Structure formats: structure tokens, C-alpha cells
């Protein structure tokens, strides 16, 4: 497609951590015709409302950064919502894009689409080769259907619909709610509260032995802009750093960044989740894109953003 700075780009989920980072990245590159709707303006679960929106606005490009997301606790507590609402959101966006002749669609998923015990590092071809991690399979199954919907449109109709699967994300505008957040922002808040409370001990879930990879959200936004501006020859690409560390090492890095000097207590009665989830990012690197922000630098930037915005978070006691 002929993309230019006036092309109409609809970013679904533009107020979230990922969508807002993509919006900022596109603006920085001079794209001036960006469209976004809040969830109160457009309920993406409502097929009729989404169809009407596409008929009226007719975007040239759609970037799907909208999803219901959360950590192990949220996935375990609300399995039906994580499955159904994510399928509703993406099905409505993909089908309306297809029906209104949107030529470029970028679908964002998650590394949890890959089997729990897939060989490491995770390659794109490992998809659907084994059972999923039970603690987030509801979300994973929904995202897999999104990948396959985009792949089928690409295969059957030749549209440039691609799926980018980021590893664990973090950064500005992350969710720091201790009940629903992912591991890295939850740790930042826990260590900060413990430091403020006199460096009291911090209790963390699991054994600390699982290994995880983390990508700064502005790097993902950069990858999305790269995918927008370039033609990819396949439908599925991993987006990550290709480097991981143990949850224990992550905790110690965050503890150091925050300046907490108390003890870390591990509750091994709580689930660990997948033992390791390292992405093979060679396919994306071969296409010409590579992550730029290191983990230590990214955590410092994220903690700084947290400090500047903590008055907007719900107060909790530790």
C-alpha cells in the first residue's frame, strides 16, 4: 500500500500502555491522521458499534493494541472474560478491517501463545505444537485465533495482515495495580511501598527461578512503526530482546533501582508459571529491526515515570 504521513491510521487501544506508545512513535515520525476512540466512545466488544465506526471512518491502516490483559491472578480469576472479550475485540476489528478493504493490519499478541514446554528460544514455528501454560491459556487461545484470522486473510486474499508477538512488556503507562498487574510493574510498586514503609520485607510469588525476557514498550512501538513502513514476507514475527534473566535477578535489579534495602521473601506455595519464555527474535532482526533499550535503563525510566504519576494510583498498604 502507498503509506504517507496523511494516511488514516486507527490505533485500537490508543490509551493503553502499548497503544499510547505507538501513538507517540507515529506522531514523532510525522504521521498526522491518527484515529483513536476510548472504550466509552467505542466498545470494541460490540460488533454493531465497530462495524458502524469502520463504515464512517474508513481507516487505511489498523493497529490492534486493544486487549483485556492481566497477570496470573487475573487470568485464573476471570477465564471466561479473558477468552471471550479478547476474541470479541479482535474478531470485530479484523472482520471490519477485511470488509472495509483495510489493506494493512497489525495484530499484537503475546509470547504466551507458544506451548508451555516449547524448545527455547521460542520460534514462530513452535505455535500449536504442544499444550499451553494453564495459568494463561484463556488469553493465549484468544490471541492464537487472532493470529490465525490474520494469516487466513493474508493467505486467501493477499492482504498485508501481520501479527507481532511481543515478549513481556513494561514502561510508561503500565498497570501498577497489585491485583491485576504483571510481574515487573508489580515489583516496582511493592519495592517502592516497602522502601517508603521503612524498608520492610517484600514477599514475592513463586520460587524466583523461572526465566523471563522483558521489552521496553517504546521499543515495541518502534517495531510496529517499522512493520508499518516495510513489507513483511510472512504473517508472524516475534518481537523481543532475545535476552532473559531469572525472576530473582529481576527482583534484585528492581530492588537496587528503587533503593529498597530490606529482605526479599519468596512464597514458593504460589505458582511460578512457565519455566522459561525466551523469544527467538532472529526473524525480526533479519527483517531489519532490533531492540534498543536495555533492561536496566528501561527499569530506571519506568520507575521515574511511576514516581511522577503515583498520585494517580489507588492507595495500598503493604
For the segment 196-235, what is each residue's pLDDT rounded down to a tens digit? 999 999 999 999 999 999 999 999 999 999 999 999 999 9
Which class for 253: exposed (0-12), middle (13-18), buried (19 or more C-beta within 10 A)? middle
Binding residue per annotation — 167? yes
Q: 135 falls in which pLDDT band (50, 70, 90)?
A: confident
Binding residue per annotation — 159? no
Between CA 164 and CA 167 the distance in angstroms is 10
Binding residue per annotation — 148? no
The per-residue pLDDT for 316 is: 56
Percentage, residues of the chain above pLDDT 70 = 98
The per-residue pLDDT for 272 is: 84
Binding residue per annotation — 99? no
* Residues 202-220: b if buried by 16+ CB within 10 A, e if exposed: bebbbbbebbbbbbbbbbb
Give the chain's radius of gyration (CA, Å): 19
**CATH class of the domain whose range is 9-312:** alpha beta
Binding residue per annotation — 282? no
- Give 231-262 pLDDT, tens digit per residue: 999 999 999 999 999 999 999 999 999 999 99
- Calculate mean pLDDT across residues 61-84: 87
Binding residue per annotation — 110? yes
Contact assessment for residue 223 and residue 167, using Cβ atoms and an 8 Å cutoff? no
The per-residue pLDDT for 315 is: 61
pTM of the model: 0.93
Percentage helix, strand, coil for the chain under 3-state DSSP, each rounded to 5? 45, 15, 40
Nine-digit cell at 224? Answer: 510496529
Side by side, the strands of the sheet bearing 211-212 are 245-246, 211-212, 276-277
Nine-digit cell at 93? Answer: 476489528
DSSP string, 193-212: HHHHTTS--EEEES-S--EE
- DSSP reduced 3-state for 237: strand
Between CA 278 and CA 257 the distance in angstroms is 24
Binding residue per annotation — 230? no
Residue spans of the domains in the chain: they are 9-312
- The 8-class DSSP code of residue 15 comes to T
The per-residue pLDDT for 136 is: 85
Tell me the residue length of the chain.
Answer: 318
- Calculate mean pLDDT across residues 19-28: 98
The per-residue pLDDT for 317 is: 53
The per-residue pLDDT for 309 is: 94
Closest CA to 178 of 72, 298, 299: 72
- Give 184-205 pLDDT, tens digit per residue: 999 999 999 999 999 999 999 9
Contact assessment for residue 25 and residue 222, using Cβ atoms and an 8 Å cutoff? yes
Is 139 among the residues known to form the active site?
yes
Nine-digit cell at 254? Answer: 528492581
* Helix pair angle (79-99, 137-157), 10° resolution: 10
Q: Which of 114, 139, 161, 303 is catalytic?
A: 139
Percentage, residues of the chain above pLDDT 90 = 85
Return the bridge partners of 279, or none: 122
Within 10 angstroms of residue 313's Cβ, the number of other Cβ atoms is: 13
Binding residue per annotation — 212? yes
More confident residue, 116 or 235: 235
Between CA 183 and CA 210 the distance in angstroms is 12
Quote the mean pLDDT of the chain. 94
Binding residue per annotation — 57? no
Nine-digit cell at 7? Answer: 494516511
Binding residue per annotation — 16? yes
Nine-digit cell at 284? Answer: 525480526
DSSP string, 77-118: H-HHHHHHHHHHHHHHHHHHHHHTT--EEEEE--GGGS-TTP
Amino acid at each position: 500500500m502507498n503509506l504517507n504521513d496523511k494516511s488514516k491510521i486507527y490505533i485500537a487501544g490508543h490509551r493503553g500502555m502499548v497503544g499510547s506508545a505507538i501513538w507517540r512513535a507515529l506522531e514523532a515520525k510525522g504521521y498526522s491522521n491518527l484515529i483513536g476512540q476510548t472504550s466509552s466512545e467505542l466498545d470494541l466488544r460490540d460488533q454493531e458499534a465497530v462495524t458502524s465506526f469502520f463504515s464512517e471512518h474508513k481507516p487505511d491502516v489498523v493497529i490492534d493494541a486493544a486487549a483485556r490483559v492481566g497477570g496470573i491472578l487475573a487470568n485464573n480469576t476471570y477465564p471466561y472474560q479473558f477468552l471471550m472479550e479478547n476474541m470479541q475485540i479482535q474478531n470485530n476489528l479484523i472482520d471490519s478491517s477485511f470488509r472495509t478493504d483495510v489493506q494493512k493490519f497489525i495484530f499484537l499478541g503475546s509470547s504466551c501463545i507458544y506451548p508451555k514446554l516449547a524448545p527455547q528460544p521460542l520460534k514462530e514455528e513452535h505455535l500449536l505444537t504442544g499444550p499451553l501454560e494453564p495459568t494463561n491459556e484463556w488469553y493465549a487461545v484468544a490471541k492464537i485465533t487472532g493470529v490465525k484470522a490474520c494469516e487466513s486473510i493474508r493467505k486467501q486474499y493477499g492482504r498485508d495482515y501481520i501479527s507481532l508477538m511481543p515478549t513481556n512488556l513494561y514502561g510508561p503507562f503500565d498497570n501498577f495495580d497489585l491485583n491485576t498487574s504483571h510481574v515487573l510493574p508489580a515489583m516496582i510498586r511493592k519495592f517502592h511501598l516497602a522502601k517508603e514503609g521503612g524498608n520492610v520485607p517484600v514477599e514475592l510469588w513463586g520460587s524466583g527461578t523461572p526465566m523471563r525476557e522483558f521489552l521496553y514498550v517504546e521499543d515495541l512501538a518502534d517495531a510496529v512503526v517499522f512493520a508499518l513502513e516495510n513489507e513483511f514476507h510472512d504473517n508472524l514475527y516475534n518481537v523481543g530482546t532475545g535476552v532473559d534473566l531469572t525472576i530473582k535477578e529481576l527482583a534484585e535489579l528492581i530492588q537496587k533501582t528503587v533503593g529498597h534495602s530490606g529482605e526479599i521473601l519468596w512464597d514458593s506455595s504460589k505458582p511460578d508459571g512457565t519455566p522459561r519464555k525466551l523469544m527467538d527474535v532472529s526473524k525480526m532482526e533479519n527483517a531489519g529491526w532490533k531492540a534498543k533499550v536495555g533492561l536496566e535503563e528501561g527499569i530506571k525510566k519506568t520507575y521515574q515515570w511511576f514516581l511522577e504519576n503515583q498520585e494517580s494510583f489507588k492507595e495500598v498498604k503493604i
